[in-house]
């Protein structure tokens, strides 16, 4: 990751942090790449030695205070100066893709206390259901 030159550029970067060894997560990243013709997203595997630290360095003081917890069970999205996690991150990603995927944004109307348990169920079982890669996937 290169360091942006000004805060307005930093806020325009959309960064997805994901589990690079998870088959489901790697497939999701490939799907996002196929459905993001403008190539607005940058991908950083959570296993990347400096991924999280780099994000903290590029966005000093703005990530450190976040309530989103870094976990391999959680997709994280840094977009427009905010850090999103779990179902909110997944839905906000879908909203920025080509049609028909932005329609999924309607589910943001469903409260997080209902959405996140569904996300957590899949996150807890994803390796058992979809398997794990031997190497970290990088788009």
pLDDT, mean over the chain: 79
Q: Which residues have C-beta within 8 Å of that of residue 46, sequence separation ≥ 6?
A: 17, 18, 19, 20, 52, 70, 71, 72, 76
pLDDT of 59 > 60? The answer is: no
Q: How does residue 54 score in pLDDT terms, banded at 50, 70 and 90?
A: low
Residue 66 has a pLDDT of 46
- Which domains does the chain carry? 7-130 (3.40.30)
Q: How much is the pTM?
A: 0.77
Residue 76 has a pLDDT of 87
Higher confidence at residue 75 or residue 88? Answer: 88
pLDDT digits (tens, 9 = 90+) for 40-53: 998 888 776 566 66
């Amino acid at each position: 990751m290169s360091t942006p030159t000004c805060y307005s550029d930093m806020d325009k970067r959309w960064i997805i942090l994901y589990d690079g060894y998870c088959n489901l997560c790697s497939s999701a990243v490939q799907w996002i790449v196929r459905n993001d013709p403008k190539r607005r997203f940058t991908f950083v595997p959570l296993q990347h030695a400096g991924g999280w630290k780099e994000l903290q360095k590029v966005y000093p003081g703005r990530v450190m205070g976040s309530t989103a917890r870094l976990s391999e069970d959680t997709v994280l999205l840094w977009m427009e100066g905010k850090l999103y996690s779990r179902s909110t991150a997944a839905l906000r990603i879908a909203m920025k893709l080509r049609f028909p995927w932005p329609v999924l944004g309607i589910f943001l109307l469903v409260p997080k206390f209902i959405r996140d348990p569904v996300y957590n169920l899949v996150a807890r079982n994803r390796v058992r259901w979809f398997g794990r890669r031997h190497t970290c996937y990088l788009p």
